[in-house]
Amino acid sequence: MLLDDSQRYSRQIQLPAINVQGQEKLTGSTILIAGAGGLGSLTALYLTAAGVGHVIIVDHDQVELSNLNRQLLHRESTIGRPKALSAAESLGRLNSSIKITPVQAKLDQGNIDDLLKGVDLIVDGCDNFQTRQVINRACLNHGLPWIFGGVRGFNGIATSFVPGSLTCFECIISDPGHSSRPRRSESGQSGSGHSNPGQGILGPTAGIIASIQAMEAVKLLVDMGTSLVNRLIHVSGLDMRITTSALTPNPDCMVCNPVKKKRTQNKRTQKNDNPV
């Protein structure tokens, strides 16, 4: 680690759970942030400041005036510019020692496999359900962790998905029999892929959830603490209630169950090929 980096990250290196080895893990990591909006821009800010070595920001949208109450990487001077480029410029001014790659595109089935090459973790900053489906399925196929976050009004939710976890995004969504599971409206079921202009959001709501997502990312990259895997955190800003509930797998999930079965079969095959 360079001398300047040791000084820059000295306060987090002092934490026993991180120390120099943990910082080196962060510096050697590549993350993809899907969306440079309210969640994505703030998560990117924290992870860039923490020294994640390569930050890829994917967004197809342009900066609008109504974004500026919560999307703090953007400025009045960048209105009309691509969000990915605006975000990358702001992050570069914050930390010039890391690599920042803006991708001006919509994340979809056609490009996600190429974009995930060399990526260690995905952070969800999307505003629609369909893109999260794409992320969920790609991460299952590639064996990558990803961190979900959703905000609406004064409320927000977050959880983490890792290879081998009990649940995936699609097996916890929209099951009316489980009150702990987020509704599609909380998960960005907008259809168009754009934020609903009539759906209000307070900046600090996005800030709280983005901070949780950034913390989860650091924990997973450094391999420390206990993550939100198989748990959902819900923050209610108006009465400042923070609750955490267990997530249970959906035995009928058509997305993650085949992947789980394939992994089990592979483990059995490996065990048979390597008898004790």
In angstroms, the CA 181 to CA 122 distance is: 21
Q: Is residue 236 included in any domain, yes or no?
A: yes
99-103 and 54-58 strand pairing: parallel
Q: What is the pLDDT of residues 219-266, one digit of tens each?
A: 999 999 999 999 999 999 999 999 999 998 888 888 988 776 665 555
Please state the domain count of the chain.
1
Q: Is residue 238 included in any domain, yes or no?
A: yes
Domain CATH code at residue 26: 3.40.50.720
Q: What is the pLDDT of residues 181-200, one digit of tens each?
A: 555 444 544 332 333 445 79
- Percent of the chain surpassing pLDDT 90: 75
Q: Is residue 21 included in any domain, yes or no?
A: yes
In angstroms, the CA 140 to CA 125 distance is: 18
Q: Is residue 210 included in any domain, yes or no?
A: yes
Q: Is residue 184 included in any domain, yes or no?
A: yes
- Classify 116 in phi/psi space as left (phi over 0), alpha (psi -120 to 50) or beta: alpha
Q: Which two tokens stand for residue 261?
A: 């079965």
In angstroms, the CA 21 to CA 101 distance is: 25
Mean pLDDT across the stretch 2-23? 92
Mean residue pLDDT of the chain comes to 88
Q: What is the pLDDT of residues 149-174, one digit of tens each?
A: 999 999 999 999 998 888 999 988 85
Instruction: Report the pLDDT value the prediction gives residue 108, as an integer from 0 to 100.
Output: 96
- Percent of the chain surpassing pLDDT 70: 84
Q: Is residue 265 included in any domain, yes or no?
A: no
Q: Is residue 255 included in any domain, yes or no?
A: no
pTM over 0.85: yes
Structural domain of residue 11, as residue ranges? 3-250
Q: Is residue 266 included in any domain, yes or no?
A: no
